[in-house]
Amino acid sequence: MLSRTADHLFWMSRYIERAENLARLLDVTWQMSLVPQSLEAANQNWNAIIALNSLEESFAKKYSEVNADNVLRFMVSDPDNFASIYSCLRLARENAHAVRGTVTAEMWETLNSTWLEAREKTFEQILNGGVGEFFEWVKMRSSLSRGTTLGTLLQDEAFHFIRLGTLLERADNTARILDVKYHVLRPHGDEGATDFYQWGALLRSVSAFEVYRKVYRDVITPERVTELLILRKDMPRSLHFCMNGVVKNLDLIANRHSDETARHAGMLHAQLHYSRVEDILAEGLHPWLTDFMDRIYALGDGISRDFLVPMAEAA
Amino acid sequence: MNFYNEMYDANGGVREHYKGYEAWLKATPGERIERKRAEADLAFHRVGITFAVYGEEAGKERLIPFDVIPRIIPSAEWKGMQKGLRQRVTALNMFLRDVYHDQEILKAGKVPAEQVLNNAQYRPVMQGVDLPGDIYAHIAGVDIVRAGAGECYVLEDNLRVPSGVSYMLEDRKMMMRLFPELFARHKVAPVQHYPDMLLEKLRAVAPTGVSDPTVVVLTPGAYNSAYFEHTFLAQQMGVELVEGRDLFVQDEVVYMRTTQGPQRVDVIYRRIDDDFMDPLAFRPDSALGVPGILKAYQAGNVTLSNAIGTGVADDKSIYPYVPEMIRFYLGEEPILNNVPTYMCRKADDLKYVLAHLAELVVKEVHGAGGYGMLVGPASTKEQIENFRQLLIAKPEGYIAQPTLALSNCPTFVEEGIAPRHLDLRPFVLSSGKCVDMAPGGLTRVALTKGSLVVNSSQGGGTKDTWVLED
């Protein structure tokens, strides 16, 4: 497969997954903001989203104040913000466009019509229709895209690069959501009462509320939420689950340059496989997640170097 | 002006080959057809069968309007056309071989040497280069129009990178999806094997000694107006769609960059103009091409399709000599007509053209796509005067032809069904062993009332083209 084709496939799946997770993050923040709280606390939640994506500077250029309306506008439908849902859907479609001969007609049509519909929605229309409904729509479109991929695409190299993109992006995004929410909910470690609604909203944002009930059959505690989202290998949005898939797909596309990247992926996977939640919390969740995100980033870099960016011309 | 109507004869009777369709059209409720037309629009949009228009907002895409009334050609007429196309394209390939080797036709004085050798499309780098099967134009998109009392003329030969074949195929697919009953009633010659034919031809012209050639389609990229077609053909043939940056040349061999390392490429169906193919040989500012590819090509290590330098044979200043080429190389009389052409570089011709601008069609010698032309009868005084200045300033840059009374065909437009002018572009494939084509071709239709310009960039649409088998 052409390196450029693999690159487009990888980023196509990353951007649609990113749009989905951003919708999830915004959705949970929106829901949390509905629980009675001080304005200051509410705005702190919105600010965390900007900080999480390192967008303080570009946000400040256009908006004077961090509040629900501005952050939503910026992250949902601002075409100038390359990290907005709008931009992610556009970039997913653009990458698909470049490889529309490689993906199936259904996959291309899904991403193309997602973009065509997104383009028609103004922020005011989204607000009027209810932002929650819009986030649901984004999640459904992402599911549809994943579904057409699983249901129609030959499981060859193209498929593996798409899965790699999806899982790597999801691992990063789940870590981010957990990091930002944990930080806001428990700024000083694990003292104080657990806020059922806030933790419930966090679980719902990764479609894990019912999963939690099923797995633990007990009250919601931050430790278990952490365990579920990081260490459960059968929870499809957990870091362990994602790394399982990353290692497997990397193995299937291995070439003679990729040993080192595979080794790093394997080490990260092993760490998730054999860690205990007590140890992670003892180290401090925030530093642990920061380290994890750095390593995910390095992994993406390695994949790019080994497979996607045109390699040295020597035959 | 009286126009030949493809469906009705001069007395308003339905032509024999349209009888079946016409009866169906009469019997089918208008609202059903209306619904089907909307369905077609939606499907084309969703599938993204679009083209980009230069000069409009970057990356903006439009649909090419699709008309549900087919253009029907009786079998006997098609057979004649086919024979004429084979003859014409064979002669054009022989001409190209000759121009880039011994130049017999120039020595014989049949085509003025300066017209060829001073032509911007003539590529001296091709002199003496031998090509597999001696074929230069593997793919030709010959534009044919019907005019006057029904006789056909070749308008242009399009030997560089003719486009539109994907619309021919998609129109047929759409027509069969919308109105399957029509195909049960008519014996419409199938066209869907075109990509197979194309792949077979491309494989047949691989460099000598390559038994299982790697074929690729080379596109300028996603913002090119015909990008849809590039992806479509690559997908239909099951070959890689590459951009210039995916290829590199080492030791005069072309490779593509893959996830498993470099892979050798043998045949390139390129959809990039000569000028942009190799920044080391042609335009140095081209970012679309592949540095060093010309050297690999000259060394015979890769086949380019079409060859470099085919433009010298489809240039409008060479067009008037095609009948002469047919006589010279094949010793036959041309089967297809040429349109009488005034060459403005000749003083007499220029004088005539300037005196009759309001009646003539004037075209830029190197123009294409319906840009930079004047249709006298459809132009304002001001436009004509502007063109007069252009002509006087640079007569050798233009040719002129009588305004042909292009045939028309009933077409769905805003106000209902009305006659609109059309042309036909058959796609002719050559490999040295044989010359083939899919029955019919792409029918383009000018949707604006009275317009004679069918180019999609100028608001043209397309129709499914049926060759009826006996």
Contacts of A314 in chain B (CB under 8 A): 250
Distance CA A4, CA B267 (A): 20
Residue type, B247: L
**Contact in structure between B463 and B69 (CB atoms under 8 Å):** yes
Query: What single-letter DSSP state applies at residue B244?
Result: G
**C-beta atoms of A253 and B47 within 8 A:** no
Distance from CA of B262 to the nearest CA of A (A): 6
Distance CA B245, CA A4 (A): 9
**Contact in structure between B446 and B465 (CB atoms under 8 Å):** no
User: From the list B231, B246, B248, which residue is nearest A2 (CB)?
Assistant: B246
**C-beta atoms of B46 and A101 within 8 A:** no
* Residues of chain B where predicted confidence (pLDDT) is lower than 50: 55-59
Distance from CA of B215 to the nearest CA of A (A): 13
Which among B355, B388, B403 is the end of a domain? B403
- Both B42 and B126 in one domain: the answer is yes
Name all contacts of A77-83 with Cβ < 8 Å and 24+ positions apart.
A77/A121, A77/A122, A77/A123, A77/A126, A81/A55, A83/A22, A83/A53, A83/A55
Retrieve residue B11's tokens.
């007395």
Distance CA B303, CA B44 (A): 34
Q: Is residue B8 part of a domain?
A: no
Q: Is residue B5 part of a domain?
A: no
> Given the structure tokens 């499981």, which residue do they identify?
A155
- Both B240 and B375 in one domain: the answer is no
Structural domain count of chain B? 2
pLDDT of residue A132: 92
Retrieve residue A109's tokens.
């049509």
User: From the list A101, A112, A315, which residue is nearest B234 (CB)?
Assistant: A101
**Contact in structure between B263 and B247 (CB atoms under 8 Å):** no
CB neighbour class for B131 (10 Å; exposed up to 12, middle 13-18, buried from 19) = buried
Quick one: closest CA in B to A105, which residue?
A: B47
pLDDT of residue B57: 46
Distance CA B342, CA A187 (A): 85
- Both B421 and B397 in one domain: the answer is no
Instruction: Read off the pTM.
Output: 0.82
Contacts of A310 in chain B (CB under 8 A): 245-246, 257
Distance from CA of A129 to the nearest CA of B (A): 24
User: From the list B48, B243, B260, which residue is nearest A112 (CB)?
Assistant: B48
Q: Is residue B10 part of a domain?
A: no
Retrieve residue B378's tokens.
């459809």
pLDDT of residue A219: 87
- Both B214 and B142 in one domain: the answer is yes
DSSP letters along chain A, please?
A: -BHHHHHHHHHHHHHHHHHHHHHHHHHHHHHHHTSS--HHHHHHHHHHHHHHTT-HHHHHHH-SS--HHHHHHHHHH-TT-TTSHHHHHHHHHHHHHHTTTTS-HHHHHHHHHHHHHHHH--HHHHHHH-HHHHHHHHHHHHHHHHHHHHHHS-SSHHHHHHHHHHHHHHHHHHHHHHHHHHHHH-TTSS-S---HHHHHHHHHHTT-HHHHHHHH-S---HHHHHHHHHT-TTSTTSHHHHHHHHHHHHHHH--TT-HHHHHHHHHHHHHHHH--HHHHHHH-HHHHHHHHHHHHHHHHHHHIIIIIS---S--
Quick one: closest CA in A to B224, which residue?
A: A98
- Both B109 and B200 in one domain: the answer is yes
Distance from CA of A157 to the nearest CA of B (A): 9
Quick one: closest CA in A to B219, which residue?
A: A98
- Interhelix angle A105-120/B30-47, rounded to 10 degrees, is 100
Q: Is residue B2 part of a domain?
A: no
**C-beta atoms of B242 and A2 within 8 A:** yes
- Both B395 and B260 in one domain: the answer is no
**C-beta atoms of A315 and B256 within 8 A:** no
**CA angle, A45 then A50 then A51, to 5°:** 90
Quick one: closest CA in B to A160, which residue?
A: B259
* End-to-end CA separation in angstroms for chain B: 34
* Residues of chain A where predicted confidence (pLDDT) is lower than 70: 184-194, 310-315
Contacts of A5 in chain B (CB under 8 A): 240
Residue range B36-73, pLDDT digits in tens: 988 888 888 776 666 655 544 444 566 778 899 999 99
**C-beta atoms of A1 and B232 within 8 A:** no
User: From the list B48, B256, B260, which residue is nearest A108 (CB)?
Assistant: B48
Distance from CA of A275 to the nearest CA of B (A): 34
* Chain B interface mutation, best of A3, A112, A116, A303, highest count of B Cβ atoms under 10 Å: A3
Q: Is residue B237 part of a domain?
A: yes
Q: Is residue B113 part of a domain?
A: yes
As for the ipTM of the complex, it is 0.76
- Both B412 and B391 in one domain: the answer is no
Q: Is residue B432 part of a domain?
A: yes
**Contact in structure between B232 and B166 (CB atoms under 8 Å):** yes
CATH of the domain at B367: 3.30.1490.270
User: From the list A4, A116, A256, which residue is nearest B246 (CB)?
Assistant: A4
Distance from CA of B238 to the nearest CA of A (A): 9
Up-side HSE of residue A85: CA atoms within 13 Å toward CB? 32
Distance from CA of B236 to the nearest CA of A (A): 9
Q: Going by C-beta distance under 8 Å and a sequence separation of 6 or more, which residues neighbour residue A11?
A: A91, A95, A165
Distance from CA of A159 to the nearest CA of B (A): 13
For B399: left if phi > 0, alpha if psi spans -120 to 50, otherwise beta; the answer is beta
**Contact in structure between B324 and B110 (CB atoms under 8 Å):** yes
pLDDT of residue B311: 94
Strands B253-258 and B247-250, by their bridges, are antiparallel
B225-245 burial by CB neighbour count: b if 16+ within 10 A, else e? bbbbbbbbbbbbbebbbbbbe
pLDDT of residue B61: 62
**Contact in structure between B124 and B79 (CB atoms under 8 Å):** no
**Contact in structure between A168 and A14 (CB atoms under 8 Å):** yes
Q: Is residue B179 part of a domain?
A: yes
**C-beta atoms of B46 and A112 within 8 A:** yes
- Both B347 and B409 in one domain: the answer is no
**C-beta atoms of B47 and A113 within 8 A:** no
Up-side HSE of residue A273: CA atoms within 13 Å toward CB? 10
- Both B394 and B412 in one domain: the answer is no
Distance CA A35, CA B90 (A): 79
**C-beta atoms of B261 and A3 within 8 A:** no
**C-beta atoms of A4 and B245 within 8 A:** yes
Distance CA A118, CA A78 (A): 12
Task: State which residues form the domain around B276.
Answer: 16-339+404-467
Q: Going by C-beta distance under 8 Å and a sequence separation of 6 or more, which residues neighbour residue B411?
A: B67, B69, B417, B418, B419, B420, B445, B447, B461, B463
A239-277 burial by CB neighbour count: b if 16+ within 10 A, else e? bbbbbbbbbebbeebeeebbeebbebbbebbebbeebeb
Residue range B20-39, pLDDT digits in tens: 999 999 999 989 999 998 88
| Residue B173, SS3 per DSSP | helix
Distance CA B148, CA B89 (A): 25
- Both B245 and B386 in one domain: the answer is no
Quick one: closest CA in A to B47, which residue?
A: A109
Which among B352, B387, B403 is the end of a domain? B403
Which among B351, B379, B403 is the end of a domain? B403
**Contact in structure between A91 and A11 (CB atoms under 8 Å):** yes
pLDDT of residue A314: 38
- Both B346 and B395 in one domain: the answer is yes
User: From the list B222, B232, B259, which residue is nearest A98 (CB)?
Assistant: B222
**CA angle, A285 then A290 then A296, to 5°:** 125
User: From the list A101, A105, A256, which residue is nearest B47 (CB)?
Assistant: A105
Quick one: closest CA in B to A107, which residue?
A: B47
**Contact in structure between B447 and B33 (CB atoms under 8 Å):** no
User: From the list A1, A6, A109, which residue is nearest B46 (CB)?
Assistant: A109
- Both B109 and B145 in one domain: the answer is yes
Retrieve residue B190's tokens.
């199938």
**C-beta atoms of A116 and B45 within 8 A:** yes
Spacing of C-alpha B367 from chain mean position: 13
